[in-house]
Chain A
Amino acid sequence: MQELNLKVLNKPGLHARPAKELVKFNKGIESDVVIKFNGKSANIKSMMAVMALGAKQDAEVTVTIEGPDEADVAKAVTEMFANGFGFPEEL
């Protein structure tokens, strides 16, 4: 299992657009990816659960990744958080 501590950089937080990107990303991987924040946890396969975390900009979240491709997935997830999930205008 991999555990990452990542920061939400997008100004609007983990809102609809990043959550949608995570759902899409999840379809191409084997690992289970869970984001934990503020005592709540959300599997990234659920857009609604991710949004319900209420993680705003600058929120520090914990991401756990478990599965055969966890090393690659960890790298990709770190990248997604860092580049604003592909929405540079939100940084």
Chain B
Amino acid sequence: MSEKIQGNIAIPGIAIGKIMKVGQSLDGYMAAYNPGSAEEELSKLEEAIDTISAAIDESVEAMRAAGQDEQAEIMEAHSFLLMDPMLTDGMNDKTREMGHAPKAVLEAAQECAEMLAGMDDEYMRERSADVKDIGRRIARHLLGVKEPEIGEEPVVLCGFEVEPSAIANISDDKIAGVIMGQGSTTCHAVIIAKSRAITTVVGLENRVEDIPEGAKVLLDGNEGLVLVNPSADELAAYEAKIKAQQEEQKRLDALKDLPAETTDGVKVQLAANIGLPEDAEAAAKFGNQGVGLFRSEFLFMGRENIPDEELQFEAYKRAIVACKGETCVIRTMDIGGDKPLAYLNIPHEDNPFLGYRAIRISLERPDLFMPQLKGILRAGVYGKAAIMAPMVISVDEVKGIRAAMEKAMAELEAEGKEYSKDVELGIMVETPAAAVMTPVLAKYVDFFSIGTNDLVQYTLAVDRVNPQISKLYDHFNPAVLQLIYRTIKSGVENGKWVGMCGEMASDPYAAVILMAMGITELSMSAPSIPKVKEKIRSVSMDEAKAHLERVMAMETGAEIREYLHSKI
């Protein structure tokens, strides 16, 4: 039997390959290194910089030729940094001082990286990891660490952190997957892997050390699972899965440009949930129509101060442009005590999910809310933007948001900045209070988007990450369905559109009954879109309505689920 290690899903897929460790410690090589005279060390350094620089330029060219623009851009930044005298002078000066080129290189790169990390500029902060990557690459060359040899068999790169350059340097047919100890799914390595659809599992933490070099692994990116030395039976089981996956993929790819409509022609908009503006561009290959949830949190995280209007404007603009005229729904900051940010200044809370968070903070902090609203209103000029407020429980809050929006417009007017007057304002219906009050709230908003992840959690009082009670968490629970139906009816009766941006929207069976309830937009992670579309295209609205009637008369979530899975 194999050893199974559970990590987190980053990029789905199934991959089989041989482990190639990267980013490992250089300590052993350092101890064995015999430095020459200062002059010798300097000339070794020069040679190393030239070699690596040429290698980077060569791979950038190859990537451009292969149409891998995103990857090429990241590696081009490496080339730019390696030409920067601040880095190279630092390396030279330190080599002269220390008489030990590899040590000097790592130290100089570290200093530059720290300086960049402290800068008040998103672009430069992101370059911090790139500088360290370059430093290690030159140091490895100086230490004579062999660039791992890639044989016939495709490799699975494995390390606590995997350097972007390590992925970028292996061609598609030789790289099967990536395993990382660290848990971020937005780092450059993951972005590069995603642009090439390389199966990736992250968040293994120190367990990456238990995976031996050269071991055969099976990577189940759909489950975030790593099987080290899989048995013949496991391999056979997965071979079948891979084959089925490929066939399904072919079928789903064919749906990309077809409309999401029932057999009798009732349409629904299938939009994408995104976290980064570039996700909106990547979603296009799944045939999305706009963005139903842009989680603006990433703009607020990992930084020391409030992101300014300009930075937010640029990010929203990029996403809005990528929506090509379809709506881009931007959710205002949804952060609370669970992700403490220094500038939010939230004292410790025992229960941050019921605490000072999201719109509750935004409404009290114009210094935080105004730049966000103004950024969105300005970006609205470039397409169709909508503002969505999270965690709303009352009409008063909606009035407060509307007033803030008007103030933002007045300020933009006074500053003579161009902005859109047609940005819609809606709320995320994710508290039972909001769902119950939708008949009233509908008078004050332009749309509702049902956030089922929290709505299920708050309605059923079930923490979905608590494994002991996770079986109680069910979006088909009749109590949840009643609230959803009520919300949709309230919207329809008041002429406001209703969408859904929680995980339930990606359940093809749920999609059918939601359409029967009158929902007109479903937003989900882009790869889920084709499956939902396929199901919708297989039923008529009459059938869907009949199913809905049966389902609403049922008494348990299990009964509903079983019915839908057997009848649709």
Residues of chain A touching chain B, judged by Cβ–Cβ distance below 8 Å, are: 11-12, 15-16, 20, 23, 43, 45-49, 51-52, 54
Q: Which residues of B contact A46 (CB under 8 A)?
A: 84-86
Complex CA distance for A54 and B112, rounded to whole angstroms: 15
Most buried by B among A11, A52, A54: A52
Tell me how far the C-beta of A48 lies from the nearest C-beta in chain B, rounded to whole angstroms.
Answer: 4
Asked, given contacts A45-B85, A47-B80, whether A16 binds B115 with beta carbons under 8 Å apart, the answer is no
Q: How far is the CA of A27 from the CA of B116 in the complex (A)?
A: 23
Contacts of B75 in A (CB 8 A): none
Can you show 9 pairs from A to B with CB atoms below 8 A apart? A43-B85, A47-B81, A48-B115, A49-B84, A49-B86, A51-B119, A51-B124, A52-B86, A54-B119
Supposing A11-B310, A48-B112 touch, asked if A16 and B86 sit within 8 A by C-beta, the answer is: no
**In whole angstroms, how far apart are the Cα atoms of A12 and B124 in the complex?**
13
- B555 interface hit (Cβ, 8 Å): no
CB distance from A46 to the nearest CB of B (A): 4
B-chain residues with CB within 8 Å of residue A15 when the two chains form the complex: 121, 123-124
Alpha-carbon distance between A47 and B119 when the two chains are bound, in angstroms = 13
Chain B residue with the shortest CB-CB distance to A47: B84
CB closest chain-A residue, reference B83: A23
CB of B563, distance to nearest CB on chain A (Å): 56
B123 adjacent to A48 (CB under 8 Å): no
A52 touches B84 (CB 8 A): no
Given A11-B310, A12-B310, A51 contacting B85 (CB threshold 8 A) = no
Is B120 in the interface zone, CB < 8 Å from A?
Answer: yes
Contacting residues of chain B (100-147) with chain A, CB-CB under 8 angstroms: 112, 115-116, 119-121, 123-124
Residue in A16, A45, A49 whose beta carbon sits within 8 Å of that of B121 in the complex: A16
Closest-CB distance, B381 to chain A (whole angstroms): 12
Query: CA–CA, A23 to B85, complex, Å?
Result: 11
Interface of chain B residues 52 through 95 with chain A (CB within 8 A): 80-81, 84-87
- Which B residues are closer than 8 A to A by beta carbons? 80-81, 84-87, 112, 115-116, 119-121, 123-124, 310
CB–CB A48/B120 < 8 A: no
Residues of chain B with a CB closer than 8 A to A45's CB:
85
Chain A-chain B contacts (Cβ-Cβ < 8 Å), number: 40
Instruction: Determine the distance from Cα of A54 to Cα of B123 in the docked complex, in whole angstroms.
Output: 14
- Expressed in whole angstroms, the Cα–Cα distance for A54 and B86 within the complex equals 16
Contacts of B81 in A (CB 8 A): 47-48
The answer to whether A52 and B119 have CB atoms under 8 Å apart is: yes
Given contact pairs A15-B124, A48-B116, A48-B124, enumerate 17 new A-B contacts (beta carbons under 8 Å).
A11-B310, A16-B123, A16-B124, A20-B80, A23-B80, A43-B85, A45-B85, A46-B84, A47-B80, A47-B86, A48-B81, A48-B87, A48-B112, A49-B84, A51-B121, A51-B124, A54-B120
Contact residues in A for B124 (Cβ distance below 8 Å): 15-16, 48, 51
Q: How far is the CA of A61 from the CA of B121 in the complex (A)?
A: 19
Q: Measured between alpha carbons, how far is A12 from B115 in the docked complex, in Å? A: 19
State in angstroms the CA–CA spacing of A55 and B115 once bound together: 15
Measured between beta carbons, the chain A residues less than 8 angstroms from B120 are 54
**Pairwise interchain contact A52-B121, C-beta atoms closer than 8 A:** no
CB distance from B333 to the nearest CB of A (A): 21
CB-CB under 8 A for A52 and B115, given A11-B310, A12-B310: yes
Q: With both chains docked as a complex, state the minimum distance between the C-beta of A71 and any C-beta of chain B, in angstroms.
A: 25
What separation, in Å, do the CA atoms of A55 and B87 have in the docked complex? Answer: 20
Specify which chain A residues have a CB less than 8 angstroms from the CB of B112 in the assembled complex: 48
Residues of A within 8 A of B116 (CB): 48
Closest approach, in angstroms, between the C-beta of A22 and any C-beta of chain B? 12
Q: What's the least CB distance linking B93 to chain A, in Å?
A: 14
Please name all residues of chain B whose beta carbon is closer than 8 Å to the beta carbon of A11 when the two chains form the complex: 310
Alpha-carbon gap, A45 to B112, bound state (A) = 16
Q: Which residues of the other chain, B, contact A49 by a CB distance below 8 angstroms?
A: 84-86
Q: For residue B310, which residues in chain A have a CB less than 8 angstroms away from its CB? A: 11-12
User: Which A-B residue pairs are the 7 nearest by beta carbons?
Assistant: A16-B123, A48-B86, A46-B86, A46-B85, A49-B86, A15-B121, A46-B84
Q: Name the A residues within 8 Å of B87 (CB-CB).
A: 48
Closest CB in chain B relative to A7 CB, distance in Å: 18
| Cα-based distance from A46 to B123 in the complex (angstroms) | 16
Q: How far is the CA of A52 from the CA of B310 in the complex (A)?
A: 20
Q: Kindly list chain B residues whose C-beta atoms are within 8 Å of the C-beta of A52.
A: 86, 115, 119
Bound CA–CA A49/B124 (angstroms) = 12
Residues of B within 8 A of A51 (CB): 119, 121, 124
Closest to B90 in A: A48
Q: How far is the CA of A43 from the CA of B116 in the complex (A)?
A: 17
Least Cβ–Cβ distance between A34 and chain B, in angstroms:
12
Contacts of A16 in B (CB 8 A): 121, 123-124
A49 to B39 CA separation, bound complex (whole angstroms): 27
Q: Which residue on chain A has the smallest CB distance to residue B120?
A: A54
Q: Which residues of B contact A23 (CB under 8 A)?
A: 80, 84
A58 to B89, CA, bound (A): 30
When distances are taken between beta carbons in the complex, the residues of chain B under 8 Å from A48 are 81, 84, 86-87, 112, 115-116, 124
Cα distance A16–B84 when bound, in Å?
13
In the complex, residue of chain B having the shortest beta-carbon distance to the beta carbon of A90: B310
